Structure 1
Amino acid sequence: MEHTARLRPPSANIARALAQFALGLAPSTLPDDVWRKSTHQILDAIGLALASRRFPFAAPALAGIRAAGAPGDATTIGGGERLQPRDAALANGYLIHGLDFDDTHPGSIVHPTVACLPAALAMAEATGATWGELIAAYAAGMETAIRLGRAVKGGFHHAGFHATGLVSHFSAAVIAGKLLGLSEDEMVSAQGIAASTSAGVQVFLENGAWTKRMHPGWGALSGITAAKLAQAGFHGPDRPYEGKFGLFDTHMQERAGEVDTESVLQGLGEEWTLMDTAIKPFPVCHFIHGCVEAALTLRADIGDPRSIEAIVCELPAPTLPIVAEPAAAKQVPRSDYEAKFSVQYVVAACLVRGRFTLAELDDDSLADAEILALAAKVQCVAEADTAFPKYFSGAVSVRGAGGTTLRRSVPVNLGSGERALNLEAIVAKFRANAGLTLSRTEVDAVLETLLSASSDTPVRGVARVLACA
């Protein structure tokens, strides 16, 4: 096969550098802000897993996972199912990502916590690890997932792949390898094995299929499998990222020359990219968040939304194929998942309802004639001035019956950078989500357990509370 290498090689083997970083990371060496940020992100993810159990997509997936797997001792969040660790990781990943309300790292366009927590929780429980050991493994996985996504500058999405569905295989392999006590060579091999399982095509965008929800959990299952195989002596590739036909070469194809392989290595262990992770305030694709805020701030000034004649939404150009096109389909989403990826629907709902919550994704809202009529008036264009992907910016202009046009622009979306959600807001979000399936007493118990866990707290004790059974 004829093959021309386009990838710029890094200065060191990426898999080995990530292995060395992960194996050298101890709970005592984690900066306080990294520990605190990790705790907040885990809290947010657990609340989302609990909320997902309320929705129709949860039961069929959990039933299928139970049927395909086997009983075990690993916890599934919010339920009585006790599964093998790999199956529990798949289930928990599905639940955390089910509502697409989980955190995002803007620069990498990856949902990092769901790429890491399912494997960390399952393997920490299985190995009898402490909460500090879980946090250290989680942090190592977060740096792996984020740095791999950041290196391609959004390129996975442009090539038709769900970035989180790809990188979760590697972050889970690193996490499982650390908690299993793999050697450096075994950790490299585990990442190499993961290169043969990493996948996640974005064809779900055509019909709102449920497969995106499954991708991160499948990455956790595969990463755990890769670590177990490496531990047993299975030999994997040693250059899974930068090698010929490795991750970057095969998945980026003609864009492989754009990959910044060196950025994966830069500042590893000193610069904590997980600190830039953004917790979502709205349950829609993060690409839409700037427009959501702009529409909500306009709502008070427009009076009757039925008087609106035209709406223009400005978004970063790379996001338009995912959340704005084809316009005819986006204006009439057929499911809650399609609605999450439709800027036309989301902005119209914001202007009609003055809010955007999980309630705006129910069947009645999707059939709301007033929202759909307004969605048909939305035109989407490329934003002229944006800091994307550092921030998910956006702007909305509304023209009224008298010809007057109002415009609002959001250069830095709520939840990102200096506008990161504080603990009060994160707890409020957790309570709203967890409260969909738990009593107030149960919500308080989970909240107290997660916020008070210390480095020496046994993960198995935390897991018993998370089972809520």
Structure 2
Amino acid sequence: MKPTTPETKLSRFVAELDWDDLPPRVQDRVVEIWADAVANALAGRSAANTAAVEGLATALCGPGDSTVVGGGTLAPTGAALLNGYQITAFTMCDVYRPALCHVTPEVVPAVLAVAEAGDVSGRDLLTAIAAGLEVTTRLGLGVDYPVFRARGWHAPGVIGTIGAAMAAARALGLDAAGVCAAMGLGGSQAAGTFAALGTPAVKFHQARGAVSGLWAARFAAGGLGGAENILTHTDGGLLTTYAGGGRPGHITRQLGERWELEQISLRRWAAASSLQSLVAALLSVPADDLRPSDLVGVDVALPPTSYAMCGDMGWDDELSAMQSARYVTTVVLHDRQCWIEQFTADRRSDVPLAQFARARVSVDVGAGLPPSGVGLRITRRSGSPLVVHRDGAPGEPAEPLTRETIREKLAAVGGGSLDEVVFGVAGRSAAEVAAALRATPSSATAGRS
């Protein structure tokens, strides 16, 4: 390997990374991101399309000993596919906002499938996850996101695949050359565009990213390498082809000193990442001031990117409802909650709710709003209009979810008994952790379309 390329620097960083290399605050953050991913995977067991994905994973991959969170075992590829889907199924997993990339649905399933099959400690499980989170977010810096996005690319299936590949390679204990080979093989499978927005395919990008990462690491371990310069090659390198050259220097700047994974946001509610500030703004107003029968209209202002994804979205199915600014506004006003139960088929088909959403909620672009901000103007029959503004959402780096909130999220989907295992993973083996994950059924309310 050439000593000074971004690929070489990343590969050595991943191969040599040890849990003790992470500062205590970063270790805590990795554990919290991992715990949030487990909670989301448990919740995803009851999502509308999970049964279909599980059926396909079983038919295509067959039985095996790899853990499905909350659901027994499958062959490694099937387990990675299903776990990746479950983590993202209810639209409440993490997001790295600078590249609009969900990271854990790719990284965690690939690492879990590898780690539980070998003699891997909980510390090494967490180290591999940390490596995947850090690589993926740094690649998000490197792709020069405005250029990358203008070409239509959807980050999870592109940079998430590479992060998953390198993370799984770390879990396998590969050396720097092996990690670099996995990176190359991951890049050879990098794909997914925004044409999928609003369809189940947007979730497929992430689940497939986990599978591709698993395959890349296993192929690399078997001696089947990929391009050593998959990022920077002038003829087909990821940065060259997907981002007009990108910003390669950003990928390794202060590598191991500044932890980009700390910029990952976690979601408190089951709704699009672009609508988390909207939910927070609505719930910040006392219920007595927001009686739906007293409301004449609710004007929602979203920043341009959020509006493009959520402003005109309907709510015909579970996924679109979670991405619909009008529906989320309406159901939160009526229920004072934004959880799985708010997106069931029965709730979405409620006639008065739909009438309110169509007649009394308007959504437009808000000039000058920060990227995850929101503005509300609520007109009431009694009392003066209410104006509410938020610059960001709970769960973002400036307002991170507390560990207690993450514990509450885990408990809400039936994972309360997992608390000691999930938060104490560093003191256990990966196999022990995996056994607990597959033996814990989800208690999330089903949301069938």
TM-score surpassing 0.5?
yes
Q: 2:323 aligns with which of 336, 341, 348?
A: 341
Q: Deviations over 1:231-280 (max 9, x none)?
A: 3333422222232322233334xxx36x3332211111111111222221
* Matching residue of 2:379: 399
Q: 2:195 aligns with which of 203, 225, 228?
A: 203
* Matching residue of 1:232: 222
Q: 2:18 aligns with which of 17, 21, 26?
A: 26
What is the CA-CA distance between 1:79 and the residue it aligns to? 1.6
Q: 1:370 to 1:267 in 2, by over 3 A?
A: farther
CA contact (8 A) 2:262 2:397 kept: no
Q: 1:269 aligns with which of 227, 250, 256?
A: 256
C-alpha separation in 2, matches of 1:27 and 1:121 = 17
Q: Deviations over 1:132-189 (max 9, x none)?
A: 1111111111011111123333554443332112222101110122222323223222
* Matching residue of 2:444: none
Is the aligned partner of 1:429 residue 2:409?
A: yes
Is the aligned partner of 1:458 residue 2:429?
A: yes
Q: 2:339 aligns with which of 347, 357, 361?
A: 357
Larger displacement relative to structure 2 (343-352 or 299-308) = 299-308
**Letter of the structure 2 residue corresponding to residue 67 of structure 1:** A
C-alpha separation in 1, matches of 2:406 and 2:248 = 34
CA contact (8 A) 1:115 1:145 kept: no
CA contact (8 A) 1:278 1:420 kept: yes
What is the CA-CA distance between 1:227 and the residue it aligns to? 2.2
* Matching residue of 2:172: 180
Q: Percent identity?
A: 27
Is the aligned partner of 1:318 residue 2:312?
A: no
Is the aligned partner of 1:409 residue 2:381?
A: no
C-alpha separation in 2, matches of 1:371 and 1:161 = 35
What is the CA-CA distance between 1:369 and the residue it aligns to? 2.6
C-alpha separation in 2, matches of 1:362 and 1:164 = 26
Structure 2 unmatched ranges of 5 or more:
441-449
C-alpha separation in 1, matches of 2:339 and 2:221 = 45
C-alpha separation in 2, matches of 1:31 and 1:108 = 25
SS in 1 for 2:376: strand
Q: Between Structure 1 and Structure 2, how many residues are aligned?
A: 435
User: Where do 1:187-336 residues align within 5 Å?
Assistant: 187-205=179-197, 208-244=198-234, 245-252=236-243, 256=244, 259-298=246-285, 300=287, 302-324=289-311, 327=312, 330=313, 332-336=314-318
**Letter of the structure 2 residue corresponding to residue 460 of structure 1:** A
Is the aligned partner of 1:135 residue 2:122?
A: no
SS in 2 for 1:454: helix
Q: 1:156 to 1:302 in 2, by over 3 A?
A: farther
CA contact (8 A) 1:289 1:394 kept: no
C-alpha separation in 1, matches of 2:135 and 2:242 = 17
Q: Deviations over 1:112-148 (max 9, x none)?
A: 2222111111111122210111111111110111111
Q: 1:93 aligns with which of 75, 84, 107?
A: 84
C-alpha separation in 1, matches of 2:145 and 2:370 = 13
Is the aligned partner of 1:379 residue 2:348?
A: no
Larger displacement relative to structure 2 (235-244 or 72-81) = 235-244
C-alpha separation in 2, matches of 1:154 and 1:179 = 32
CA contact (8 A) 2:184 2:230 kept: yes
C-alpha separation in 1, matches of 2:366 and 2:242 = 27
C-alpha separation in 2, matches of 1:367 and 1:444 = 32
Structure 1 unmatched ranges of 5 or more:
1-10, 436-442
What is the CA-CA distance between 1:346 and the residue it aligns to? 0.8
C-alpha separation in 1, matches of 2:347 and 2:153 = 30
Q: 1:304 to 1:132 in 2, by over 3 A?
A: closer
What is the CA-CA distance between 1:229 and the residue it aligns to? 2.3
* Matching residue of 1:124: 115
* Matching residue of 1:447: 419
SS in 2 for 1:128: coil
Q: 1:171 to 1:46 in 2, by over 3 A?
A: same
TM-score, scaled to structure 1? 0.87
CA contact (8 A) 1:314 1:381 kept: yes
Q: Deviations over 1:355-378 (max 9, x none)?
A: 222111011221223332232233
SS in 1 for 2:326: helix
* Matching residue of 1:5: none
SS in 2 for 1:107: helix
TM-score, scaled to structure 2? 0.90
What is the CA-CA distance between 1:466 and the residue it aligns to? 0.8
CA contact (8 A) 1:173 1:223 kept: yes
C-alpha separation in 1, matches of 2:112 and 2:183 = 19
Larger displacement relative to structure 2 (228-237 or 12-21) = 228-237
* Matching residue of 1:51: 43
SS in 2 for 1:370: helix
**Letter of the structure 2 residue corresponding to residue 143 of structure 1:** E
